[in-house]
Amino acid sequence: MDISRKKIMFFVMLTYVSTIVFFIIIRVLVKNSINLVGISMVIPIISVIIVEKFIFKESLRSLFNSNNFKINLWLLFAICIPVVMSFIINLINTVYFGKIIVSPKVFLANVITGLSIATISAFVEELAWRGFLFNELRYLGIFKVLLCILVMIILIC
């Protein structure tokens, strides 16, 4: 088995097992564990660091390759969609049911939280799944790589 396949195997197994253990621990120890679910988004990047630095003694530079980070229209679109959807849902609820889901102050606080904390945790998760795995699987071709990553992410959810 070549190194790339070993890395992928270690990464996927470590990520799955760590995620399962994390959810078991917070379910048992924390009364309102739903508030800690977002923390699980950093498990894949921790798995990448363990696999790359500690198991295979390699650099993390490939994750931060400039080809992986391109600011484009899709990035702006991905940032704006949740904000616009929240606004539309609140507007529809107000018009049809006469009830505001959240006040403008709470809405603004949620947007700021979403664009800061949630964006950072989503970014590090994507860095692992798409940064690490994409680099390790790129020999398969773009369609097969994306399909493999999609299947792996679906299995963990």
pLDDT in tens, 76-131: 787 788 778 877 877 887 788 877 777 788 778 877 877 777 778 888 888 888 78
Q: What contacts 18, CB < 8 A, 6 or more positions away?
A: 43, 46, 47
Quote the pLDDT of residue 1.
64
Q: What is the largest CA-CA distance in the chain?
A: 62
Q: Cα(18)–Cα(128) distance, rounded to whole angstroms?
A: 14
Q: Cα(18)–Cα(135) distance, rounded to whole angstroms?
A: 22
Record the tokens describing residue 113, joined without a space: 């939280």
Quote the pLDDT of residue 67.
59
DSSP, collapsed to helix, strand or coil, labels residue 123 as helix
Q: Cα(110)–Cα(115) distance, rounded to whole angstroms?
A: 8
